[in-house]
Amino acid sequence: MNKNTLETPQEEGLEPQVVVLRVSNMFVINYNYLVIDHINSTSIIVDPAWDLERIEQAIEVSNTTLKGVLLTHSHFDHLHLAKPLAEKHNCPIWMSQEEIAISGYDAPQLQPIDETPIWVESLKIVPLLTPGHTAGSMCYMIGNNLFSGDTLFIEGCGLCNDVKAAHHMYESLNKIKAYVNETTRIFPGHKYARSPGEQFATVLQNNIYLQFSNKEDFAAYRLRKGQNHAKFFEFY
Ligand SMILES: [Fe+2]
Domain boundaries, the chain: 9-224
**What 3-state class would DSSP assign to 121?**
coil
- The rounded Å distance from CA 71 to ligand 1 centre is 11
Q: In the structure, what pLDDT confidence band is assigned to residue 182 with cuts at 50, 70 and 90?
A: very high
Cβ 50 vs Cβ 59: under 8 Å: no
pLDDT at 44 > cutoff 70:
yes
- The rounded Å distance from CA 160 to ligand 1 centre is 10
- The rounded Å distance from CA 80 to ligand 1 centre is 12
**CATH class (in words) of the domain with range 9-224:** alpha beta
**What 3-state class would DSSP assign to 27?**
coil
- The rounded Å distance from CA 141 to ligand 1 centre is 19
- The rounded Å distance from CA 73 to ligand 1 centre is 7
Span 221-233, pLDDT tens digits: 999 988 765 454 4
- The rounded Å distance from CA 88 to ligand 1 centre is 25
